[in-house]
Structure 1
Amino acid sequence: MSRIIAIANQKGGVGKTTTAVNLAAGLATPERRVLLVDLDPQGNATQGVGLDKQEPAHTTYDVLVNGVPVTGAFVPTETPGLWALPSNRDLVGAEVELVDAERREHRLRDAIAAARQEFDWIIVDCPPSLSLLTLNGLVAADRVLITLQCEYYALEGLSELLNTVMLVRDNLNPGLGVLGVLLTMHQHTNLSRQVVEDVRTHLGAKVFDTVIPRNVSLSEAPSFGKPIHAYDPKSAGALAYAALAQEVLARG
Structure 2
Amino acid sequence: MASTQTDRTRLAGFDEVPLGPTGRPKQDFDEPRPLKSHGPARIISLCNQKGGVGKTTTTINLGAALAGYGRRVLAIDFDPQGALSAGLGVPTHDVPTIYDLLLSGSKDPSIAIQQTAVEGLDIIPANIDLSAAEVHLVNEVAREQILARVLRKVSADYDVILIDCQPSLGILTVNALTASHGVLIPLECEFFALRGVALLIETIDKVRDRLNPAIELDGILATMFDSRTLHSREVLERVVDAFGDRVLETVIGRTVKFPDASVAGVPITDFAPEHPAAKAYMQVARELIVRGAVA
TM-score band, normalised by shorter chain: over 0.9
Q: What TM-score comes out, normalization by structure 2 length?
A: 0.83
Contact 2:90 2:114 in 1 (8 A): no
Backbone CA RMSD of aligned residues: 1.1
Structure 1 unpaired stretches of 5+ = none
- 1:238 and 2:282 aligned: no
Q: Map 1:1-252 to 2 at 5 A.
A: 1-29=40-68, 31-55=70-94, 57-67=95-105, 68-187=107-226, 188-252=228-292
Residue-pair matches, total: 251
Please give the alpha-carbon distance, in whole angstroms, between the structure 1 residues aligned to 2:174 and 2:78: 11
Larger radius of gyration: 2
Contact 1:47 1:222 in 2 (8 A): yes
Q: Which amino acid aligns with 1:139?
A: T
Identical residues among aligned pairs (%): 43
Q: What TM-score comes out, normalization by structure 1 length?
A: 0.97
Say which SS state the counterpart of residue 84 (structure 1) adopts: strand
Shifted more, 86-95 versus 66-75: the winner is 66-75
Please give the alpha-carbon distance, in whole angstroms, between the structure 2 residues aligned to 1:149 and 1:23: 16
Shifted more, 24-33 versus 181-190: the winner is 24-33
1:212-248 Cα shifts (integer Å, max 9, x gaps): 0001111211111111111111112111111101111
Contact 1:30 1:81 in 2 (8 A): no
Please give the alpha-carbon distance, in whole angstroms, between the structure 2 residues aligned to 1:30 and 1:186: 25
Contact 2:61 2:268 in 1 (8 A): yes
Structure 2 unpaired stretches of 5+ = 1-39
Contact 2:188 2:194 in 1 (8 A): no
Q: Which amino acid aligns with 1:59?
A: T
Question: Cα distance, 1:196 vs. partner?
Answer: 1.1
Shifted more, 2-11 versus 60-69: the winner is 60-69
Say which SS state the counterpart of residue 210 (structure 1) adopts: strand
Say which SS state the counterpart of residue 128 (structure 1) adopts: coil
The list of structure 1 runs, each at least 4 consecutive aligned residues, that deviate by more than 4 angstroms after superposition, is none
Contact 2:186 2:223 in 1 (8 A): yes
Question: Cα distance, 1:30 vs. partner?
Answer: 8.0
Please give the alpha-carbon distance, in whole angstroms, between the structure 1 residues aligned to 2:272 and 2:266: 9
Say which SS state the counterpart of residue 155 (structure 1) adopts: helix
Say which SS state the counterpart of residue 157 (structure 2) adopts: coil
Label 1:184 to 1:30 Cα distance change in 2 as closer, same or farther (>3 A): closer
Q: Which amino acid aligns with 1:58?
A: P
Please give the alpha-carbon distance, in whole angstroms, between the structure 1 residues aligned to 2:70 and 2:246: 29
Say which SS state the counterpart of residue 250 (structure 2) adopts: strand
Please give the alpha-carbon distance, in whole angstroms, between the structure 2 residues aligned to 1:54 and 1:30: 31
